[in-house]
Structure 1
Amino acid sequence: MDESIAKNQSYPGGIQAYVESFEKQRQLYKRTMVIVILSQIFGGAGLAAGITVGALLAQDMLGTDSYAGVPAALFTLGSAGAALLVGRLSQRYGRRFGLATGFLAGGLGAIGVVLAAVLNHLPLLFLSLLVYGAGTATNLQARYAGTDLALPTQRAKAISTAMVFTTFGAVAGPNLVTAMGKVAISVGVPALAGPFILAAVAYIIAGLVLLFMLRPDPLIVARAVAESQFVNEKRSEAKNGEHATSYKSGLIVGATVMVLTQIVMVAIMTMTPVHMRHHGHGLGDVGIVIGIHVAAMYLPSLITGILADKYGRTVMAYASGVTLLLAGLVAAIAPGDSMVLLVVALALLGLGWNFGLISGTATIVDSTPPSVRAKTQGTVDVLIALSGASGGALSGMVVASSSYSTLSLLGGFLSLLLIPVIIWSRRSKRERQ
C-alpha cells in the first residue's frame, strides 16, 4: 500500500469518519472505556463465584481435599480455550462479537454448575466449570479493548481503568456468598451453588452490554486508522526490520511476567478457603478474606497504570515479584486462626498479581500492531490460563502431601524468577542499541 492508496481508501460502516477525525477517535475511545467499565462491573461479579466457593463445592461433592484445586484448574483450563477463541473471534469480527460471545458462554457454564450441584452430578460439574471459564478469560481480555484507541502514553492507564471497575462486582460477589446461599436454599439449590446463580446473571448482562453497545468496534477502527497512517512502504519495512527483535523480546517478557504471577496467585488463592475451613472459619470469614484479596487484585489498578506509564513496565514487574514473595512469606507464617494475617497475605497476593498483570499487559500491547493485536493477545492469555490451571491443580496436591505453608513458600520464591527474565530483556535491549 502506498501513500495515495492509504489516503483514498474508504472503510465500511461509518468507520471512515473516525479514520479522518482524531477528535472522533478520542470521543470513541472515551465511549469505549465507559462501555468496557460497565461490562467489567458485571464481569467481576461473575468471576468471583468460582474463586470463592469453587473449591468448597468440589470438596463437598468429592469428599476429599486432594482434588479441591480441580475446580480452579478446570475453569482456568476452560478459560485457556476461551481466550484463544475470543482472541480469534475478536481479530476477525471485532471486540464486540468476541467479548460478548465469551461472557454469554460463561453465563451458560455458571447455570450448568448450579444444575450439577442440584443433581450432585460430577461430570456435569466438571464440564460446566470448563465452560464457566470462558467468563474469566473474557473478563481479562476486555482490558485490551480499552487500549485499541489509547495513545501509547496512556495504555497502562487504560488497562488499569477497566480493571479498577472490576472491583465493584468482584468484591461484592464474595461478600454476597452468605446471602446468595440463603437465596439458593430458598429455591431448593445447595447453598454453595448460590454464588453461581449470581455469576450466571452477571456474565449474561455483561455479554449483552457489549453486544448491543460496543459500536463502532474499537479494534476495527484502530486497525483502519493504522492502515490509513501508512506513509511509505520502504520506511515501514525498515522500521519492521529494526524493531522485530524488540517486539519479540517484549512479547516474551510480557507473557512471562503474567504467567508467573498467575501461577503464584491462583495456587495460593485456591487453597486459602480450604485452609480457613480446616481452622474453623465459616463462609462469611472466607468471603471477607477473598473479597479483600479480589479488591487488592483490581482496586489499585488506576494507580498502577499511572506508575507503569510514568516509570516504565520494568519497575512495576520488579515490584510484582517482591510483593508476591512477601505474600507467600506472610501466608506461610500466619496461624490458621489469624484472620488479620490471612487478610494481609491475600491482599499482598492480589496486589502483586495486579502489578504483574498491568505491567505485562502494557508490554504486550506495546509489542503488537493492530493488524495482529487481538490474535496475539488471545494467544498470550491462553498461556496465562494454562499456567493458572496448573497452579490450581497442583495446589491441592501440594497441600495434601505437605501443607498450606509449604505451598505459600513455594509460590513466593517462584515469583522471584521474574527478576532474571527482566534483566535478560534489558541486557538484550542494550546490546541491540
Structure 2
Amino acid sequence: MTVTLDREAAQRHTVRTLMVTQVLSGVGLAAGATVGSILAEKISGRTDFAGLGGTFQTLGAALFAIPVAALAHRAGRRPSLTFAYAVAVLGALGIVAAAVAGSFALLLAGCVLLGCATAANSAARYAAADLALPAHRGRDLSLVVWVTTVGSVLGPNLTAPARPLARALGVDELAGPFVISAIVLTVGAVVMWARLRPDPLLLARALAPVDEEPARGSVRRGLSAIRASRRATAAVGVTALGHMVMVSLMVMTPLHMVHGHASLEIVGFVISGHILGMFALSPLMGIAVDRVGAGRVAIGGGLLLLLATFLAGRSAIGYSHDLALGLFVLGVGWSATLVSGSTLLVASIPIPRRAGAQGVSDLVMGMAAASGGALAGVVVDQWGYARLAQFCALLAVAVVLLGLLIRRSEAAATAVR
C-alpha cells in the first residue's frame, strides 16, 4: 500500500511539473510558427524554400529524438529533457542571428536546433506515462499533451507584441517571436532541472524490477521490440503518418494566406485555432483510448484528417472560413493519432526497452514529417495548395487502415481473455 501511494504521489508531481514545462515549451515553439515560413521566404528569396524552415525544425526533432531517448535510458528523464530545452534555446538564438545576417544556412541550422524542443515535448508525453497505472495511462499522457494548448495558442498571437521587442534589439520584426522563444525555453529548462524529482523513468524501473536490466544499445533494443510487436509497429505508423499530414499541410498554410494578402494577425488567428485543435481535446482522446481502445481512436483521427484535407483543399487563397475550420479539424485529428499511437506503444513495449523504442518512434515520426514538409513547398510552388491537400488525404486514408488493423488486434486480444 505504501509503495502504491508513493507511486501515485510521484506520478501526480511528475504530471504537474511536465504540465508547467509544456506550457513554456508551447509558447517557445508556437511563437515563431506564424512567421517561420514567411521569414524563410524573405531570407532565401524563393517560395519553394519557404517550407524548409519548418521542415528543418521537424528534421531536428527527428534527429534529436535518439540522443534524447539514449540520455533518458542512461540517466533518466530529467537530464535528457533539460538538455533538449537547452539545445532549443541555442536554436532560437541562431534564428535571430540568421535574420540579422540574412543567412539562410544559419536559419536552417537554427531551425534544426530549435526542433529539439519538439523532441522534448514528444519525450515528455512518455515521461507522463512512466509511472501511470495502465487504466489511466492514456489520460495521464493526454493531460501533458493537452496543457500545451495554453502556450501554443498564446504563442502565435505574440507576433504583434514581439515587434517592439525586435525594434528595441535592432533586429528584423519577423525575428522578434524567436527572441521570446529563447527566453521562455530557458525558463523551461530551469524548471525541468529543478522540479522533475524523483525521476519518473528511474523510479518506474525501481518499482518494476525485471529480468533484463537496462544496458547499452537501448535504441537497437527498442527497434527490435517494435519489430517484434505488430501492435507497436502499427502504433508507430499511426503517429508518423498523422504527424506527416499535420506538418505538411500546416507549414504551408501561412504562406497560402499571406499570398492572398491576409495580415499576420489573421494568420496568427488561424494557426492558433489549429493549435487549439491539436491540444485542447487531448484529455478526451486519452479517456477514449482508456475506455474504447487505441484502434477506434486512431480510426477517428484518420477520418478527421481526411475531412481537414478536404476543407483546406477547397479554400481560396488568403483567409476563408473553410481554411480556418480545416486547420482546426487537422489539429483534432492529429491529437487523436498522437494519443492513440503513443499510448499503444507504451502498452506494447516492456519497461527496459521503452525509452529506446520511444526514441525510434519519434525519429520515424519526425523523419516522416520532415520529408512531407520538404515536399510541401515544392508541391505548392508547382501545383498549388489544393494539390498538397489531396496528397495529404491519401496519407489520412492510410491512417484509417492502420487503425482498423489495431482494432482487429484489440478485438482478438479481448476474445482470448
Same fold judged by TM-score > 0.5? yes
| Separation in structure 1 between the aligned mates of residue 198 and residue 109 of structure 2, nearest angstrom | 35
| Separation in structure 2 between the aligned mates of residue 82 and residue 418 of structure 1, nearest angstrom | 25
Match of 2:109 in 1: 127
Q: Is 1:246–1:429's contact at 8 Å kept on the other side of the alignment?
A: no
Match of 1:358 in 2: 339
**Which of 62, 65, 68 is the aligned partner of 1:83?**
65
Q: Displacement, 1:336?
A: 2.1
- Distance change (3 Å), C-alpha of 1:271 and 1:22: same
* C-alpha RMSD over aligned residues: 1.8
| Separation in structure 1 between the aligned mates of residue 336 and residue 325 of structure 2, nearest angstrom | 17
| Separation in structure 2 between the aligned mates of residue 287 and residue 245 of structure 1, nearest angstrom | 38
Structure 1 position 66 matched with structure 2 position 48: yes
**Which of 418, 423, 427 is the aligned partner of 2:404?**
423
**Which of 208, 219, 244 is the aligned partner of 1:226?**
208
Structure 2 residue runs without a partner (length 5+): 212-224
**Which of 386, 391, 399 is the aligned partner of 1:405?**
386
Structure 1 position 292 matched with structure 2 position 273: yes
Match of 2:216 in 1: none
Which 4+ stretches in 1 moved above 6 angstroms? 244-247, 429-432
Give the SS at the match of 2:33. Answer: helix
- Distance change (3 Å), C-alpha of 1:186 and 1:406: same
Match of 1:216 in 2: 198
- Distance change (3 Å), C-alpha of 1:286 and 1:129: same
- Distance change (3 Å), C-alpha of 1:430 and 1:311: closer
**Which of 377, 384, 387 is the aligned partner of 2:358?**
377
- Distance change (3 Å), C-alpha of 1:249 and 1:182: same
Q: Displacement, 1:250?
A: 1.6
Q: Displacement, 1:181?
A: 2.3
Match of 2:215 in 1: none
Structure 1 residue runs without a partner (length 5+): 1-18, 231-243
Q: TM-score, normalised by structure 1?
A: 0.89
Q: Is 2:226–2:349's contact at 8 Å kept on the other side of the alignment?
A: no
Q: What is the one-letter code of the residue matched to 2:85? A: F
Q: Displacement, 1:431?
A: 7.2
Match of 2:135 in 1: 153
| Separation in structure 2 between the aligned mates of residue 163 and residue 430 of structure 1, nearest angstrom | 27
Match of 1:170 in 2: 152
Match of 1:13 in 2: none
Q: Displacement, 1:245?
A: 9.3
| Separation in structure 2 between the aligned mates of residue 246 and residue 125 of structure 1, nearest angstrom | 36
Structure 1 position 33 matched with structure 2 position 24: no
Say which is worse superposed, 280-289 or 203-212, in terms of deviation. Answer: 203-212
Identity %: 36
Match of 2:33 in 1: 51
- Distance change (3 Å), C-alpha of 1:282 and 1:429: closer
Q: Is 2:227–2:233's contact at 8 Å kept on the other side of the alignment?
A: no
Q: Is 1:66–1:396's contact at 8 Å kept on the other side of the alignment?
A: yes
Q: Displacement, 1:193?
A: 0.7
Match of 1:334 in 2: 315
Give the SS at the match of 1:280. Answer: coil
Match of 2:221 in 1: none
